[in-house]
Structure formats: structure tokens, C-alpha cells
Amino acid sequence: MKWGMPDMMRSRFFFNSSVIRQNLRQHGWIGIIYSLVLLFALPLQLFLNNDPNPERRTVDNLFFIGGEIQMLFSVTVPVAAALFLFRYLQAKAPSDLWHRLPLRREHLLVSHTASGLILVLGPVWLTAAVTAIVRPMAGNMYIYSWADVGQWCLTLTILTLFLFIFSVFVGICTGQSVLQGVVIYILLVLPTVLLMLVNEHFSMYLYGYPAWYGLRGRSEVWSPLMHMIYVKTNPFTAGYLWLYSALSVLFFALSFVLYRKRDGEKAGQAIAFTYFNPLFKAGVMLCAMLISGTYFAHLRNQQLGWIIAGHLVGALIGYIAAEMIIRKTWLILSRKAALEFAGYAVLLGLVLYIPVSGLTGYENRVPAADKIVGVYASDNYSTYDAYWNNAYPFTDKQSPFIGDKDYVEAVRKLHQAMATMRPHPQNVEYRDFYLMYKLDNGRTLNRSYRVPVAGFEPELRAVMESDGYKRTLYRLYQLDEEIEGLRFSDYNKALIISDPQEMNELKEILKQEILNMSYEDQTGGQRSYATIQMIGMPDDEGYPYFSNYEWKHSFSKLTERLEQLGYADKIRITPGDVKSAEIIPNEYASRLSGNDRYDPERHLELARKENRSASVNDAAAIKDILDRGRYYTNSSGGYLVKLVYKEGREDFITLREEDLTPAIRAVLP
């Protein structure tokens, strides 16, 4: 290899054209393959369609077209390019050869980096240019704009740049190519995995910790690799692109500094810089402790001895694995190693214990009323999630937090009761509650509890009978939206109401019925006559949204109005739809074992043997059963009814003592 005067001049500018040309000749196949793959995954896919009468489709972004192939190679080719171009750092002979050239190390780094960027960014820009050129051509089955092409190109350029620079940085810090590749992908997914492990750790040991909203929430965006995999449905915003651009600059600057200090003798070693060893050991041990501790805790129902043993086992496995990787041998036992392991174990044990201990005051923290701007409470987190992420369209966007003082105080009292008593309900009736406070400093405070019904009824009643709770849980904001129709359905019966006046009237009645529901109406296992589906106005793509409600037995005004309109019997089950009915005392669960106690047919068999079952033939009794029956549960008490419908369907319902009418009492066994 000859070095002329032009090369010597260019080396002042931190690159050498001869090195770049050599790299392109030797590794140009990487860029060629990457170009062919991207051209196949995007421009070619625009024209491939088996439909004989195709229609052009609009796409939200170009990652929807061949996105899986795009991402598969986008997360592997930049890493592979870095592995091949900087492989000379991981073997002594090539390392000595390159470093004996009349070039400074920063020249080598910049030249190899420039070579890699040409190989991995050139195909991206070529594909973007071709995609833009074929946009107006006949046969292109997709509609997209110039901005879509620019967004695709910018996103993939920044992500490719980040992956390549990050891979170079890892290669400088490690001394083995295989380990470099493994560490790259581990670090790319580590943020998400670590957040999930810590989230599980907190959910087990912090009473009230909301695992549904905690560190797990949208954790995939913390992993570049996971974010790229889900790029179609979770695109990179401008903030993330700026972040990865900044990280690329940071990692290149660190590579620049570390490469100058890298000892050539470290080729073949696991870690090129000894001051990274403690961080490597601690990281491996922490992950192993979280995995092992969580496994043992679940295996032995969170018994303290097993929890401690699980974390110690994880710490030991993690330490041994890290030491063997660093030393490249399994002969690691020594007095120093034992003392070092004890030090790491104690330190990491404190790191895991302190956040879940009483020192933080997390479990007892209930915000003061004067600090609360609004509160959200529900037994279904998806209601908040749907609202917050616009799963349903709104014309009048409002905050999901309700600031009514009485409602806020009712939620606070429930929260205070749970924080004080800390019940762990098992084999008893309970309700899940998700609490979120919007505080005056702009932050939110989130908690999740399983509230036992017994002993907490006053607090539950105060919250669940509040208008704020019902408006939140039952999504009453959707009843204010303009719709195309109301669809009532119950198995094989259905009716669509599209008259605007009737729809508005029924929506208003439904809203008032929900607001008037008592605590018993919401907790008594009340059945519904039918499902009410709101058919919303079509969106920009012509698709309507749907939202479901229930026509409950307690909705007397709604029932009365539907009867007046002549719709009721066209929707709900009537005695004429019932082929047969059989009723028995609901007291056989305690006399059965295993799965039999949950099988109502086994209850019926025992009752028949004891002549304690009765057939119900009276139409009035069947109507009362249909109107007052509750969903089947395994709880003892009251009566169990088996209904067989004429279309062949079977149903099991229960009746409490307060549900019995004279007509029903007359047919009891």
C-alpha cells in the first residue's frame, strides 16, 4: 500500500482516501446486499399485487410497506458493517499491522467510520431516491407524499447512523468480535428488559405499585431495537430522532477518546478497558439477581427466606459468569474473589432493597386534598389508556381527571384506608381499583389496589356512586358524540335504530340510567338484556368507530321507553324463546371438589338425585327469572337456574332471596 503526498495532506483532515478505497473494495458487498434488500422491500413492493382489480391505498408511513424486511436488515447490516470494518481491533496480528501504518489512530477511526457510513447510508439514500421517482408511475399501488419519503429517509438515516456508531463504540471497548456482537444486541434491548424486571420487582414488594402504568408503560421505546421492530405502529417522533442523533455524536466522541487510549495488547481480551470491569460485573449481577429473585419469589409465594436465597443465587451466577468472561477461564476461585463477591452482593442488595423499603414512604403516601387538581379512578385501566391515547375520537377533548371536591375526597378516603390497612384479599370478593392524581405541580401520582368488598363497603360506595366515577368508568363522554346508529343485540336477536330523534332520546336516557346506578347495581352481578353498540361517524378513511354499553335489568326508564317504541321484545329474550328451565338450591359447591365445584351441571346432577330440582313451565315465573336473574357464580346461597333456549343455547343464572317473586316462589323445589 503506497502513501503519496495527497494522502498525507488528507490525513491532516482525519481521513485517508486509500483506507476508504481499500475498505470499499474489500467490504463493498455489504452495501450491495443492503441496497438490493431495501430496493426489494420498498420500491419493488409498490408494484407487487395479485389483485386483478387493485385500488390504490394510502399508507400512514412507508414502513407499512415491507416493514418487516426493512427492519430485519436495518438492525443487522449496520452492526455487521461495524464488525467487519473494525475486526482488526479484535486480533493481535491485524491490529499490529494497521497501527504500524504512518497514520494516527484518529485517522484510522475516521477513515473506517467514513467507509462504513458510505456502505450503510448509501443504500438508504438510493432507495429513497428510487421511491420518490416511481411515486407518480402507473402501477404504483400506494399513495404517499414527498414528505413521507423524506420522513422515511431521515428516520432510517439517523437509526442506521446510530446503530453503526454505537457498534463501533462497543467494538473499541471490547476485544473479541463475537462478544462485541453479543454485547451490542444485549445493550440495545437492555433498557426495556431492565425496566420490565425492575417493574416486576416493584410490583411484588411495593404495596399499591401500579404495574400497569409503572416502568413497564411503553417500555419498548427505551430500546432502539424494540422501537425499530414496532416502528409501523409506534413511529419515531422528532424528539427521538434528535435523541439518537445526539447519542450518535456522543458515542463517536467517546470512541475518538477511547481509541487513542486503547492498548493494542487488549486484542483478544473480553474488556479492553479495566475500569469498565466493575460496571460489567455489577450489570450482569443485577440482572441475574432480578431474574432469580423474581422466579424464587413466585415459586414460593414470596416467602422471605426464598426471596433472599433467590437473590443470592442470582448474584452468585452473575458474578461467576462475569468473571469467567473477563478472565477467559473458569478458574476464578480465590479469597479475593470471595471478598469481592460479598461486596458486590451487599451493595446490589441495598440497591434493590432501599427503593421497596419503608424508607421511601411510598406505600403510605396519600396526597393532601389541597395539592390535588383532579383525580381518575376506575376498575379498568384500559378506559384511561383509550382516552389518553385517542383510541376513540372526540370533538370536545377534555381532561380525564375530575376535580370535583367531594369526588376527590371520596377517592382519597379509599386510598387512605387501603394504605393504612394494606389488605391482601385471597378467596374473597374484591374489586380492582386504579387511582391517578393530577397534582398542582404538574406531576401524577398513581396507585393500584385490590379492594376487598367486605370491610370497605362505605369507601367503595362513596366512590362508585359518584358521578365522576361513573362518567369515567362508563365512558359517558362518548354518549355526547354524533353517531350513525344504535345497535341492540343479544345472541341471535339484533335491531338497529337510526332515527336521529330516537337515537338522541335513547342516548340521554341511557346516560341518566348509568348516572343513577347504585352501588348494588354495579356490584350485584346484574345481567343485561342486550348490548348497546354505538356506531360512530366514519373517520377520514371511511371506518366508523364502535363503543359498547349494556341495557341492564335495572334500567327501568330505558326498558319502559323501548317497550313504548315496540322495540323491547325484538331485542331481549322472552319466555317464548325459552325451551325449558330447571331450578335447584345453590348449595352444592361445598359438597364437590376440584373442577366439579365450578361445573353447574354437576350441581344439577346432585340435586336431581336428591329430588331437589324443579322444572319451571309457568311463563310468568320464567319472565321474572329472565328479568331478575344474575350472572352465575360459584358462591353458595340462593338458587341456580338452568335455561335452555329454543335455538339450542344453554345458560346458567343465579337468584338471590331478594330476587324471588311470588311467581318464582311458587315453583321452587
Domain layout of the chain by residue ranges:
5-175+220-264, 279-360, 369-473, 478-571, 575-665
Which range among 271-275, 319-323, 430-434, 664-668 shows the weakest confidence by mean pLDDT?
271-275
Beta strands in 255-366, from DSSP E residues, in sequence order: none
Residue 33, pLDDT > 60, answer yes
Query: Does residue 11 register a pLDDT over 60?
Result: no
Give the per-residue pLDDT at 251: 93
Report the distance separating Cα 362 and Cα 372, nearest Å: 17
Confidence (pLDDT) at 397: 47
**Torsion, Cα of 82, 88, 89, 92 (10° steps):** 160
Q: Which range is least confidently modeled, 6-20, 55-69, 122-136? A: 6-20
pLDDT band at 219 (very low <50, low <70, confident <90, very high): low
Q: Which of 4-18, 78-92, 526-540 has the lowest mean pLDDT?
A: 4-18
Rounded Cα gap, residues 131 and 150, in angstroms: 10
The β-bridge relationship of strands 528-536 and 57-58 is unpaired
CB atoms within 10 A of CB 347: 12
Residue 381: φ, ψ to 5°? -65, -30
What's the pLDDT band for 472 if we cut at 50, 70, 90? Answer: confident
Residue 59 grid coordinates: 399508507
The yes-or-no verdict on residue 150 having pLDDT over 60 is yes
- Structure-model confidence comparison of residues 66 and 541, the more confident one: 66
Task: Tell whether the model's pLDDT for residue 59 goes beyond 90.
Answer: no
List strands edge to edge, sheet with 444-452.
Answer: 372-378, 430-439, 444-452
Grid coordinates given for 187: 445493550
The Cα 148–Cα 128 span in angstroms is 10
Task: Retrieve residue 153's grid coordinates.
Answer: 429517509
Asked if 169 and 253 touch (Cβ cutoff 8 Å), the reply is: no
Q: Given the C-alpha cell 391517578, which residue does it identify?
A: 436
Look at residue 381 in the predicted model and tell me its pLDDT. Answer: 62
pLDDT for the residue 1 = 44
Q: Residue for cell digits 404517499?
A: 144
Q: How far apart are CA 162 and CA 167, in angstroms?
A: 8
Where are any strands of DSSP class E within 371-475? 372-378, 430-439, 444-452
Q: In Å, what is the CA distance from 59 to each residue of 46, 65, 98, 158, 631?
A: 11, 8, 48, 22, 44
| pLDDT at residue 54 in the model | 64
Three-state SS string over 585-650 comes to: ECCCHHHCCHHHHHCHHHHHHHHHHCCCCEECCCHHHHHHHHHHCEECCCCCCCEEEEEEECCCCE
CB-CB contact of 90 with 171 (8 Å)? yes
Tell me, what's the pLDDT at 265? 61
Q: Is the pLDDT of residue 153 over 90?
A: yes
Task: Residue 562: count other Cβ atoms within 10 Å of its Cβ.
Answer: 25
| DSSP three-state, residue 448 | strand
pLDDT of residue 274: 74
Most trustworthy range by pLDDT among 71-80, 97-106, 154-163, 375-384: 154-163
CA dihedral (612, 616, 618, 621) in degrees, to 10, reads 80
Length of the chain counted residue by residue: 669
What are 490's strand-pairing partners?
493
Please tell me the distance from the alpha carbon of residue 221 to that of residue 231, in angstroms, as a whole number.
10
293-302, 393-402, 548-557, range with the lowest pLDDT: 393-402
| Model pTM score | 0.77
Q: pLDDT tens digit string along 373-404? A: 999 888 766 555 545 444 444 444 456 788 88
Query: Which pLDDT score is estimated for 398?
Result: 58
Q: Output the DSSP codes for 134-171.
A: TTTSTT--EE--HHHHHHHHHHHHHHHHHHHHHHHHHH
All three cell numbers of 240: 427521538
Q: What is the mean pLDDT of residues 326-335?
A: 72
Residue with cell 484518529: 106
pLDDT digits 0-9 by tens, 622-637: 999 999 989 988 777 8
* Residue 512 in this model has a pLDDT that exceeds 90: yes
- Residue 196 · residue 164 · CB < 8 Å: no
d(CA 204, CA 214): 13
Phi first, then psi: give them for residue 357, nearest 5 degrees: -90, 175
**Whole-angstrom Cα distance, residue 616 to residue 191?**
62
* Whole-number pLDDT of residue 124: 94
Structure-model confidence comparison of residues 326 and 541, the more confident one: 326
Q: Is the pLDDT of residue 212 over 80?
A: no
Residue type at 530 in one-letter notation: A
Q: What's the rounded mean pLDDT across residues 403-430?
A: 90
The confidence score (pLDDT) of residue 96 equals: 64
Q: Residue with C-alpha cell 409506534?
A: 234
Average of per-residue pLDDT values in the chain? 84
Residue 376 pairs with which residues in a beta bridge? 436
Q: Counting Cβ atoms within 10 Å, is residue 174 exposed (0-12), middle (13-18) or buried (19+)? A: buried
Would you say the C-alpha torsion 554, 556, 558, 560 has a positive or negative sign? positive
Q: What is the pLDDT of residues 421-455, one digit of tens each?
A: 999 887 788 888 889 999 999 888 989 999 998 88
Provide the grid cell at 16. Answer: 485517508
What are the start-end ranges of the H helices in 359-432? 381-388, 405-421
Quickly state the pLDDT bin for 217 (edges 50, 70, 90): low
Average pLDDT over residues 509-535: 91
Closest of 91, 259, 82 to residue 173, by C-alpha: 259
Q: Which run of H or E residues covers position 630?
A: strand 630-631
Q: How far apart are CA 247 and CA 173, in angstroms?
A: 17
What span, in angstroms and rounded, lies between the C-alpha atoms of 152 and 157? 8
Contact 53, 142 (CB under 8 A): no
Q: What is the reported pLDDT for 340?
A: 86
The letter for the amino acid at 301 is N
Say how far apart CA 173 and CA 258 lie, in whole Å.
Answer: 8
Residue 504 neighbours by CB under 8 Å, 6+ apart: none
The band of 79, judged by pLDDT with boundaries at 50, 70 and 90, is very high
